[in-house]
Chain A
């Protein structure tokens, strides 16, 4: 079956612009996670959705970052007023429920010039 997909695969933007990153989880998975991976580092947790609600957003670095999952499937990570330090690979993962294995998408590589 289809895995987790993320679009776009690459995004180049200018400092100060707004970007949206999309995640399509595996069908039927209720748990969805966003992570951010900087060069040479492991992924860092950003936010966790259980169904439609953000159950844990403790990893969001500041209020420029926001994510939604309005119908409990597709999720969008939104970054306002992008900064060069936001450049990273943004990974999405989904799980049947939070206690089950997380399956990762290929990531979106964001470059802020």
Chain B
């Protein structure tokens, strides 16, 4: 059974810091891995999607890496801003007929001005 773990559960940093969020998964048979952002009371916004054959993806100040063999992904946020405050969710897409997403519990990020 695929399990996804995110560390840390919560993180508070001063504005301007670079930070790393961690995600680990138990079954390497994945189709892709996605990082989502969720603001309080809102739905999910996809940030980055890494296909299983890829090692990393970049978008602006965000960089996500994938090491499928070790079951790990990291989300790197450069020069954090208060507007980055949100919950960040990692999800692996199972390689089965439904391609359902299996989510971690998220990391709650607070960037202090």
Binding site for B on A (CB under 8 A): 4, 31, 33, 35, 40-45, 48, 55-56, 59, 91, 93, 95, 98-99, 101-107, 109
Contacts and interface: CB of A to CB of B under 8 A. Distances in A.
A8 to B, nearest CB: 14
B31 A42 contact: no
Contacts of B99: 31, 95, 98-99
A43 B100 contact: no
A48 B98 contact: yes
Interface stretch (B11-19, B38-46, B57-65, B75-83): B38-46
B100 A59 contact: yes
The contact size tier of chain B is 20 to 34
Contacts of B44: 43, 91, 93, 104
B97 A42 contact: no
Interface of B: 4, 31, 34, 36, 41-46, 49, 89, 91, 96-106
A105 B104 CA distance: 19
23 contacts: A33-B101, A35-B101, A40-B105, A41-B105, A42-B91, A42-B104, A42-B105, A43-B101, A45-B101, A45-B102, A48-B98, A48-B100, A55-B98, A56-B100, A59-B100, A91-B43, A93-B101, A98-B99, A99-B31, A102-B101, A106-B42, A107-B42, A107-B43
